[in-house]
Chains A and B, each alone.
Chain A
Amino acid sequence: MLRYTLRRCAWTVVQLAVLAVVVFALTNLLPGDAATVDFNEQAGLEQVAELRAQMGLDRPWGERLLDWAYGVAHGDLGTSLVGGGPVSGVLAASIGVTATLAAVTLLLLVPLATAVGLLTGLRAGGRTDRAVSAVTLTLTSVPDFVLALLLVAFFSLRLGWLPSTWVGVDGAWWERPELFVLPVAVLLARTVCTLSRQVRAGTIAALHSGWAVQARRLGVPRGRLVLRHVLPNAAVPGVQELARTGDQLLGGVLVVEAVFAIPGTATALVEAVQNRDVPTVQGLALALAAVACLLNLGADLVTRRLAPRTEVLR
């Protein structure tokens, strides 16, 4: 386990390095840099060129990449071209909301999806299973933003139960849990569906496997069989799906933050992209990509712990 963990971690480090280069390359595709955005139309070409030199945007991109990578390795994400403050400051100011949003979602997601998946998996083919499966299948294919609009229209505008946006909320968002209800509901809707379907498939496969049949023949009580033997195996596809859910969740967070005007990392990123604020985009994109990478790592390690047989498949 230790050797596996070390190797897997080393691989993650390589992945992160490549991600950094890809993020850098992608942001350099943005035509028109902050120098052209920062100035209004009256600025002459020389002024723009001067500003560009001042910002260090005229150097070859290999040099800038090395410079940036050196900074990132030392915990310095650079300086925002628009605000003038450090990028880490932008990140620190916005990460709290986004992390809370994601953490609350994950906290609710895992038990909910496991319960639904187990329930439907144990009664595969039954009426409950068919009803729940139809709902989950449909919900997975409803786009996040459509769901968000529907929920806002119904619960905020029609019934007036919940706030429809975060506009006007400054500072003490943690004191108002009702702000989180709709965003978390939107984030949960799709992820619970995909995840519970995986758990359901895993449960069915585990229940029908030879060792489960044998355990039942030996008289292992059903409750114990399900909780102690089937669940860890059923969780394997679920945990791996959870890592992929990271991508879905990230996309969902982007959409949810945009719809509800939540001042989180995703909003900051979209703003930075629109302002051509390259260092901020790089820093935030790298941070989000690193989170996705680490989620993957965690999922692989947990999978390994739950079912240490993957090496057989080599």
Chain B
Amino acid sequence: MKAARVANGARVVNGVRALVERVRRVARVRRDGPVRGVPRGSRARRGRALGGGLLLVPPVAAALLGPFLAPDPVPSDGAPYAPDEGPLGTDALGRDVLALVLRGGASALGVACAAVALAVVLGGALGLAAAASRSRRVDDLLIRPVELLLPLPSLLVISLVGVGWRGHPVAVALAVAALNVPAVARLLRAAALDAASGPVAEAMRLQGESRARVLFGHVGRAVLPVAAADAGTRVGTAVFTVAAANFLGLGLDPTSPDWGVVIAASREALFVQPWAVCAPTLLLVMFTVGANLLADGLLGGGAVGGARTGSGSRTGGGRTGGARTGDGRTGGGRGDGKATA
């Protein structure tokens, strides 16, 4: 048990450190201007963030405004896969592709976003409660069952739940949320422990600040950027997973206008009526690529920063004689342990 805990702990701690380092570095760059040695990367990164943001505009606009602009697409008497009916032609059932695309974004993006929001709220509450609990037993009780669920393959669960509940969007959202809760809980727990055993929390404690103040005033605030960064990367993955499940026919109803479903339904007609496949695909890819670029651009390629700011702990002591090169703080006690908590 302990062994697994150590390994898991180390994995999470490494992840958290990298994230925290990135966030800190962004803050530092913002405050002090470009740091020597990184400016080239940082400009490229800003460009990346801008590009990502721009890529996000069309799909998000289609998802938010589409349902108000387009009527519910109904199977018409029109010919299936007619390229000249309407601006983008029709699909296999003779429905207008433009209307489908405008209607489908709400479920394609909404399900994933709702799932991630739910996962962050639940996982955050769980992780912070585990981190704030003083007894090791409560901590174990809260976090261990969650860790057990980590290796569950995500598409497997979604397919079972989706088919089980007849492809209701709420069911799919709940499944995606449940899949993300363990990872979020572990990450935020480790982040909170990291902050709670850092020098600032120690200084606050020495000054006689109350526990609640340390917890909400410092630890809570320190965890926020980590949570935001994590949620950013998770949205992309969630959209992706939901779309894949829908594409496989394991999620929503096969006649729903969801982008994933439409792509799957019209894929045989790729050359006859390319827009039926390309329009939803384009929007979907724009969203996932945009979200990824934006998250990466805002938080930077953490590796360079992490290495530069001396987080030797990540790789400290290797095969070269096992010398510990961490700056002392990083050795024991921090992160997963509760030495000072």
Given contacts A26-B160, A149-B277, A314-B6, contact A209 B316 (CB under 8 A): yes
B260 neighbours in A (Cβ, 8 Å):
145
Q: Render B9-34 as a binary contact track against A, CB cut-off 8 A, 1 for contact.
A: 11101100010000000000000000
List residues 137-171 of chain A with CB under 8 A from any CB of chain B.
Answer: 137-138, 140-146, 149, 153, 157
9-residue interface stretch from B115-123, B124-132, B287-295? B287-295
Asked if B164 and A205 make an inter-chain contact with CB atoms under 8 angstroms apart, the answer reads: no
Binary CB contact string for chain B from 267 to 301 against chain A (1 if under 8 A, 0 otherwise)? 10011000001000100110011011100100001
Q: Is the CB of B285 within 8 A of A142?
A: yes
Interface size on A, residues (CB 8 A): 85
Which chain A positions have C-beta within 8 A of B154?
Answer: 247, 251
Task: Identify which of B159, B284, B303 contacts A146 (C-beta below 8 A).
Answer: B284
- Main DSSP-derived SS at the B contact region: helix
Candidates A29, A209, A233, A313; contact of B165 at CB < 8 Å: A29
* Residues 310-341 (chain B) with a chain A CB within 8 angstroms: 311-325, 331-332, 335-337
* Most chain B CB within a 10 A radius of its CB, from A11, A209, A233, A300: A209
Is the CB–CB distance between A304 and B316 below 8 Å?
A: no
Whether A143 and B240, one on each chain, are in contact in the complex, defined by CB atoms closer than 8 angstroms, is: yes
Residue in A146, A208, A236, A273 whose CB lies within 8 Å of B263 = A146
Contact status A153-B156, CB under 8 Å: no
Question: Of the candidates A11, A12, A142, A145, which one forms a contact with B247 in the assembled complex, judged by CB atoms under 8 Å apart?
Answer: A145
Does A262 touch B at the CB level, under 8 Å? no
Whether A29 and B164, one on each chain, are in contact in the complex, defined by CB atoms closer than 8 angstroms, is yes
Q: For B281, what are the chain A residues with a Cβ–Cβ distance below 8 Å?
A: 146, 149
Q: How many A-B residue pairs have CB under 8 A?
A: 232
A215-236 Cβ-contact flags toward B at 8 Å (1 or 0): 1000000000000110011101
Per the bound structure, the CA–CA distance linking A45 and B221 in Å amounts to 60
- Known contacts: A144-B244, A250-B153, A251-B244. The answer to whether A8 contacts B163 by CB under 8 A is no
Counting CB contacts under 8 A, is B157 at the interface?
Answer: yes
B187 within 8 A of A: no
Contacts of A229 in B (CB 8 A): 318-320
CB of A46, distance to nearest CB on chain B (Å)? 26
Categorize the interface residue count of chain B: 35 or more
CB-based nearest A residue for B274: A153
Does B302 sit within 8 A of A, measured CB to CB? yes
**Given the complex of chains A and B, what is the CA–CA distance between A240 and B10 in angstroms?**
11
B58 at the interface (CB under 8 A from A): no
In the complex, 11 of the A-B residue pairs with CB atoms within 8 angstroms, ordered by the A residue number, are: A146-B284, A200-B303, A202-B303, A207-B307, A209-B312, A211-B318, A250-B153, A251-B154, A258-B247, A312-B316, A313-B337
Pair B155/A250 contact, Cβ less than 8 Å:
yes
Q: How far is the CB of A79 from chain B (nearest CB, A)?
A: 20
Stretch binding the partner chain, chosen from A48-56, A81-89, A105-113, A287-295: A287-295
A186 at the interface (CB under 8 A from B): no
Contact B18 A250 (CB under 8 A): no
Residue of B nearest to A206 (CB): B315
CA distance A164 to B328 in the complex (A): 57
Answer whether A157 and B271 are a contact pair too, CB < 8 Å, given A29-B165, A204-B303, A233-B318.
yes
Residues on B close to A: CB < 8 A?
A: 1-4, 6-7, 9-11, 13-14, 18, 40-41, 44, 48, 148-149, 151-157, 159-161, 163-166, 236, 240-241, 243-244, 247-250, 260, 263-264, 267, 270-271, 277, 281, 284-285, 288-289, 291-293, 296, 301-304, 306-308, 311-325, 331-332, 335-337
Among A15, A207, A211, point to the contact of B320 (Cβ < 8 A).
A211
A124: CB under 8 A from chain B? yes
> Do A293 and B151 have beta carbons less than 8 Å apart?
yes
Q: Which of A240-254 contact B (CB under 8 A)?
A: 240, 246-247, 250-251, 254
In the assembled complex, the Cα of A274 lies from the Cα of B316 at a distance in Å of 51
A176 to chain B, nearest CB (A): 23
Q: Which residues of A contact B303 (CB under 8 A)?
A: 121, 124, 200-202, 204-205
Q: How far is the CA of A130 from the CA of B151 in the complex (A)?
A: 33
Contact B289 A142 (CB under 8 A): yes
A185 at the binding interface (Cβ < 8 Å): no
Per a CB cutoff under 8 Å, which of B3, B249, B331 touches A7?
B3
In the bound complex, CA of A303 to CA of B157 (Å): 28
11 more A-B residue pairs beyond the given contacts A29-B164, A211-B317, with a C-beta to C-beta distance below 8 A: A15-B148, A29-B160, A143-B247, A145-B260, A211-B323, A258-B247, A258-B248, A285-B160, A292-B153, A309-B318, A312-B316
